[in-house]
Each structure stands twice: as C-alpha cells, then as structure tokens.
Structure 1
C-alpha cells in the first residue's frame, strides 16, 4: 500500500496544485480551471511551496534524530533544519512571515520559547506536521510532543499546537486503517481527552503569559478552538451542499484550525476520489496550497501511493527527498 509515501506525495501534489490558486478569489479560479479546480500538475518539475519544503525539514529532522525521540534531541536538529530552509535560495515561494520572523530569532541564538511568535496560530504550524503522523513506533507522548514542538518553534499560540497534534493524528489513524467516516468523531474525542494536558517536557514555559493562570488553561483554549472548528466541519458535511467555495463553509485556512477543518471537509466529501479531493482543496479562496496539501496528506495516508497518477511521482519537485522519507516509513 505504501501509505507513508502516499501521504507525503499527496501533500506535495496538493501543495503544487494549490500554489497557483492561492491569493485568487473563487470566481477567478473557476473561470480558469472549472468548478473542480486544477487537477493536472504543470511544470517540469511541478513546483511546490514552503508547505512541502518545511514538511521535508520536519521529516528529515525526525530521521536524523532516530528512534530515541526526546525534546532535547529533537529541538536542536529541528532548529538547524528550519534555519537551513530559511537560508536556502529555494526559499522563494512566498513563505509565511511568522516562520521567517521566528527563524530570524532562532538564528540569533535565542531559546526557542523566546524566538517563537507567541500569539500566532497561522497554518504554518500544521501544514508541515504530516511526517510526525507517519513515523512508526512512537509512543503517544513522543508523537503528541513532537507534533506540538515542531509547531511551537515558530507558532506559540495554543490553537496552533492543538491543530498540529490533530493533523498528525488524522494522518496516523488514516494510515492505520480508520474509516474516513469515523475520523471526525475520533478527532473530536481527542479534543475532549487532551483538553487539559499540557506537555511540559516538550513545551517548557511556553504557557507563561500575563493573562494565563495555568498551563492547563493555556492549552485548553487551543483544544476548544479546534473542537469548534471540527463542529463546523460536521455541520457543513451534514448540510450536503458541496458546490462552491469550501472556505465559506469551514474557513479560509490562514489559521491552523481552519486549515485543518477545510482540509478535512474537502477530503471527507469524497475520500475515495483523491484527485477530486486535491482539486476541490485548490479551488478555494483562502490558503489554497495549505488546504490542498493537508487534504492530499489525508487521502494518501488512507489510500496509499497507488491512488495517485503514476507519472506525477517523477514530475513533482523534491521527488527524491519525498521518496526517501516515504520508503523509510512505509
């Protein structure tokens, strides 16, 4: 089945298809591609954005650290990988300012809890977390802690942390065979179960803010906002009106919980039609590349590499790096 490869390549395919539609309004996208959105990769190679670049950075950091994944081992490797990305001449794909500012602070040698953008919950937190969901053999604390820490290095808002963990768990559960129809309820249950769990070994003093009384109250805000976003997905699916701009139903995706919600929405409409999922995600008025890349990660985790057009594997940018990560975890 090659689920890890399917998820990573699906992420990159969605990113590439959403790249030209980001920053366009829905009527302009439909006028160019039709209501189904773009469904054919273009370019040799088909270029991706910072979403795939940073997902590769996270994945390669996980490979470098190996099975003994701890916060002390992961943070310096992840920091170095992020700084290599920030300084790369290929970092020319309209990267998010939150990531750039935080990387600038990390480059100055600041502790990550001082470098992060404390109030940001932008989708940069979870558009890169897919590899954390694909690594086999992690404990629950390792997977949850790594998902939140990779977000926290740049995005310090609790909703970015919770959305990143939920994104990783969606990938994990789909890879392990959870039926798509059961995914939303499972994610909603995780919000309730994790609501007061602050992973201090991984997050340290990140919670300390002038208006926050405890680490539990800090993280609960993130889980509550994610739960509300998941409820909007359930409402939109129940309504059964799937034409038009998906961002009108579940959010534009510029913030982490909306990127997760809208990616889930476009995926769960037709989970057995992966290219349709990508087109629907890319035909959105918001953060189209992030929405489509997460939706592609979900579809690929569930269906495997064979779900995607074969010729796309050699056309997509960074195919060699995607292949190395995928084959390590398949």
Structure 2
C-alpha cells in the first residue's frame, strides 16, 4: 500500500465512522415506526439533527478519537524507548481525558504525567456531552482500570466495539496482535466476554482490511482467533447469523425487518453483527451500507459508526459522499486523527520529533 493510498483508507475508516455516527445520532432512541413517521418511508437519508443540514458525531466518535490518541502516544513512547507494551495503560489515561471533557471530575490520584498535555484534550469542541454511555462513565470514574484478569463489571454494551477501529489500524501488521490489543482496551470499561471479544474481533477485521484483504476473508480469519477464546459463543453466533443473512438475501436489499432478527445493537455482539451484515451487503457502496445500518429501531449511531469504519476503510475517503464530509461538524479533528494514524509516529529511538511530541507525548 502506498502512503497516499494508506492515508485515503485510514481517513475513510475514521471519517466514515464519524459520518455514520452523526447520521444515526438523531434517531438513536426512536423505534422504527417513529423514524418512518418523522422522516418518511425511506427513513433518514441525510443529516437531520441541525437546521443547516449538518451532522454532529456523538460519544462513539469522541471515544474513538481518544482511543487513537492513546495508541499514538504509546507508539511514540515505544519509538523513543525501543520497546512497547504500555498501550493499555496509556489508552486508559486517554479515556480519562475524554471523561474530563464530559464534565466529570477525574481523581488526581488517577492522573499520570502529562495528563492535560497533547492537542486533542485542548479541542473545546469535544467538551460536549453527546449521550455518553453510562457504563463507560461509571467504569472510568471508578479509579480502577478494568482488565481480563480483574473485570470491572459484567457489561457487554457496544461501548467496546464502537471505539476500537484505531486498534486495528495501529496493529495492522498482525491480526492476532490486533485482536488481543482490542480485547485489552475494550476490557478497560467492559468486563463481559461478549463485550471485549467483540472489540477484539473488529480490531482483527480492521487490521486485515487495512492490509488489502477482502471482508469475507477478514471475518473468517477473525472468527478462527475468536473460537479459541473462552466465552466466545455469543459473538460467534451473532456474526455467523449476519453472514447467513447476507447469503439468504444476496440478491435483495436488507431492511429493518432483517436487521431486527439480529437485535437492536445495544450490546456489542449485536452492534458488530448488524454492521458486518450491512458491510457485507454493500461493500462498495458507503451510502447504502450506512443508511441501512442506521434506519432501524435500535442503537442507530453505534451501528452506523461501526459500519462507517468498516466500509470507509474498504472504499477510502474519496468514495465517501463529499456532501456528507463537508457538512460533518468538527471534521478537521477527525481528519487530523485519521492522517496521524496513517503516519503512526514521526520519532524514532535517536530522534524525538518536537511537533509530534507536542501532539502525542510518550506517556
């Protein structure tokens, strides 16, 4: 993959997720009948939250941005020190910075060196509550970092999977590593296997897609890793159901009735399966994939965000409708993160890039 192509794909992934999130945000808590009644037989077809037809992303994208920030800071640390391994703890600190932007007090004992450094936490546009998930808020306020060894709760909410795409982009060299890191970072806030394994599965799929593999192969590869993990059954069954539905409706469009057989997307394995179904069905059509993913009576912004990450990565930024890109509020923040993910790090063991250090200090 050339650097130019990589930048296009990574921007497609991050921008695509933010766009899907923004499109689905206004209908997240509406049932399907209410969506149709308010927006017509086809449901939402464009941004509808603001009167100037602009879209605004939610906590889903906010947390994805801070996931990326944590991983980039960890990558910078590894480049300078010559060894890695601190990404989970550093990403937890990034999540605490997100918690700070939500108006929640962060205990001083939880903060590490340089807590308020870096560019992302300085962006005041992110200091806005956009229906943040209660599980993420409560877990991060607990002063404890959840882990596989010491689960913080028994939640499997989709707050794991909607934020994890940057893990696959950063660890794209090895799907197994991407899976493991996705699991660990998901477990920071969610302790149920179906929650953190969904995060791992998506990270593996994103890693393979970024290497140019097709979606079906990427899913199969990820499922082989998943099956070796204890407690994998719910995630495996839901993703298998999505694949079966894609085959069943191969020559037909999918709609609310088909999606509802999977669920509403409030829990991780359902949100992931709905997104994979939409991506499988419309792999080269960003607009159809995302609009299908949001127009159902469930967690529309999360299923839209995950679908946008997957299909956006496959088609690249250039194939995402320009009008949706132009009307996405705070697009510049999302773009900057996408570009920086495609770079990875500007420093190395013998050279600390001053600008990069200011953006992503290695701690």
Give 1:229's aligned residue.
238
CA offset digits 1:133-186 (Å, max 9, x no partner): 112565555423321121111001111121101111222222222223444433
- C-alpha spacing 1:154/1:76, structure 2 compared with 1 (3 Å): same
CA offset digits 1:107-143 (Å, max 9, x no partner): xxx3544996421111001110011111256555542
- C-alpha spacing 1:141/1:277, structure 2 compared with 1 (3 Å): closer
Is it true that 1:10 corresponds to 2:16 in the alignment? Answer: yes
Is it true that 1:169 corresponds to 2:204 in the alignment? Answer: yes
More displaced 10-residue stretch of structure 1: 22-31 or 236-245: 236-245
Is contact 2:216-2:280 (8 Å) kept? yes
Task: Report the TM-score when normalising by structure 1.
Answer: 0.83
Give 1:329's aligned residue.
341
Is contact 1:184-1:234 (8 Å) kept? no
> Could you tell me how far apart the structure 2 residues matched to 1:83 and 1:247 are?
34
Is it true that 1:307 corresponds to 2:319 in the alignment? Answer: yes
Give 2:154's aligned residue.
119
The offset of 1:245, in angstroms, is 3.7
Give 2:256's aligned residue.
244
> Could you tell me how far apart the structure 1 residues matched to 2:238 and 2:15 are?
26
Aligned mate of 2:61, from 17, 32, 52: 52
Give 1:80's aligned residue.
93
- C-alpha spacing 1:125/1:58, structure 2 compared with 1 (3 Å): same
Give 2:215's aligned residue.
180
Give 1:200's aligned residue.
none
Give 1:32's aligned residue.
38
> Could you tell me how far apart the structure 1 residues matched to 2:310 and 2:137 are?
27
Give 1:159's aligned residue.
194
> Could you tell me how far apart the structure 2 residues matched to 1:138 and 1:297 are?
18
The offset of 1:83, in angstroms, is 1.6
Q: Unpaired segments of 5 or more residues in structure 1? A: 197-219
Is contact 2:286-2:311 (8 Å) kept? yes
The offset of 1:65, in angstroms, is 1.2
Count of matched residue pairs? 301
Is it true that 1:273 corresponds to 2:285 in the alignment? Answer: yes
Is contact 2:13-2:313 (8 Å) kept? yes
The offset of 1:234, in angstroms, is 2.2
Is it true that 1:190 corresponds to 2:225 in the alignment? Answer: yes
Q: What is the CA RMSD across the aligned residues, in angstroms?
A: 2.4
More displaced 10-residue stretch of structure 1: 290-299 or 164-173: 164-173
Is contact 2:16-2:305 (8 Å) kept? yes
Q: Which has the larger radius of gyration?
A: 2
